[in-house]
Homo-oligomer: A and B are copies of this chain.
């Protein structure tokens, strides 16, 4: 079976030809030294680690799974060693705040590293990914003492992090949660309750596990306004920073899951666990959303990562597997990559992955601008664009990522269904990304009910304006055959957006949400294809650039037309969804 190769050439193409990475970095204080050459060389090393160390653990880890014995979690053979090597090589701290020992590199690099981790080993990638989310929440909302105690060791990766939100009866609706936090009188709180689905809830790598727990203070109001965020470590930390005794928390069970078997997803029991408030009382959800937004982008990238890996392996298989005669009359057996229908499955995956990576880089650039640009107005504008794109990246990348995993599995026929080939694991692993960190339905609701209304409802038009400007600029090089269908698709999206704005109301929004998000994502992917095609045109052709023109055309002709159907369905609105009584289904 072919092994994964990190898409470094494609990354270099994006950073040098499609986005003016060097110029953007030069304008961001602290990133003056960062350029595409540095980024590519860092990511080349990351790719080697992902392909050489993490991917070989992926299939065995799925088979072995995690175990819980006498309260101790054991991850599959090799995972703990790989994690320690990963942290020691500095990969945990790549984009971390230099004030706490991080390397302070841009989000763009982080997101591309995340893709490689997700391609190589989704279960593994959740450890640094969740730690980073916890670091964001602590960095933004915790007091100086908590930051000083926890951030350096979390950023270095010596300690890991976990988000403890969900309870059995409180998932999407966190307002229903019942975990309690009672003041101990010394500034700390005693946390009691049970949380489920806690990724990276424990590990056997050593160090500490820092839980961010949502809980209610005594006399807190019902609903989301009564929720506060607490930091509760697995081991209490002594004044000198060394590990003290076990805190009052334990792993009640490991969840039995469809996939990500190498990831210890825990039922966590907090039995008067000592914790400290992060942010204001009653503002826990706000603090948690700092973490959630970072995680949502990360989860979107997981969809991309799985798609990239699954597509690579399906391509390799299709080049070697001989079945049937050629559609052009070549006597058989021929490699199945020559069959048009097999090509279609492979091209759909590739056209998604390349566009998604481009959109991820664009989004991460906006994040870097939002973090660092000297002009506050520019920062604010970039931040709004990230907010707009976050649900799209999370939901569309994981939906198309899952579809790509399924199509890639299909290329292998019966072998795709057999565990030894590894393709079915991609499908099982990819599936979780559509569910956790807010289901994709929740993402779509976030897009239509919150994000479209930002900047007084003008944000979508501003975003569409960026696309239009790029289409105009690309027309001479990319050509009308690519730009015209995209302009038409954009017009559909604008129309659907205007209808939503005109027919306000939660029912119409909810009925439109998932179709609208997919329409939005297809337009965003098409935008990236126009930019990539324009960037590839007329340059001394590398293999990457040769590929772009063909893929851009394929996307416009065979994928973008989905927007016509989505637009037509959206135009009918909510009534047919709401007609049936709940008892009549």
Contact = CB atoms under 8 A, between A and B. Distances in A.
A187 B389 CA distance: 71
Interface string A69-99: 0000000000000000000000000000000
Q: Is the interface of A mostly helix, strand, loop or mixed?
A: helix
Please give the count of copies of this chain that the complex contains.
2
Interface residues of A, number: 101
B584 A543 contact: yes
Contact of A435 (B410, B432, B543): B410
A338 B511 CA distance: 11
A271 interface: no
Interface in A329-382: 329, 332-333, 335, 337-347, 350
Given A258-B424, A410-B434, A577 B344 contact: yes
A576 B561 contact: no
A436 interface: yes
B547 A328 contact: no
Contact of A557 (B338, B514, B572): B572
Contacts of A577: 340, 343-344, 347, 554, 558
Interface stretch (A120-128, A165-173, A286-294): A165-173
A50 to B, nearest CB: 21
A572 B558 contact: yes
A327 B510 contact: yes
A528 to B, nearest CB: 17
A255 interface: yes
A207 interface: no
Contact of A510 (B315, B340, B585): B340
Interface in A195-217: 196-197
Contacts of A543: 584
Given A410-B441, A564-B565, A569-B557, A255 B328 contact: no
A257 interface: yes
Contact of A576 (B342, B417, B553): B553
Interface of A: 166, 169-173, 175-176, 196-197, 255-259, 315, 319, 322-324, 327-329, 332-333, 335, 337-347, 350, 402, 406, 409-410, 413-414, 416-420, 424, 427-428, 431-432, 434-436, 439-441, 444-445, 505-507, 509-511, 513-515, 543, 546-547, 550-551, 553-554, 556-559, 561-566, 568-569, 572, 574, 576-580, 582-585
28 contacts: A171-B323, A171-B413, A173-B322, A256-B419, A257-B417, A257-B419, A258-B428, A319-B585, A327-B505, A329-B506, A341-B510, A344-B514, A344-B577, A346-B585, A347-B577, A347-B585, A402-B406, A414-B435, A515-B558, A543-B584, A547-B584, A551-B580, A554-B576, A554-B580, A557-B572, A557-B576, A562-B562, A564-B565
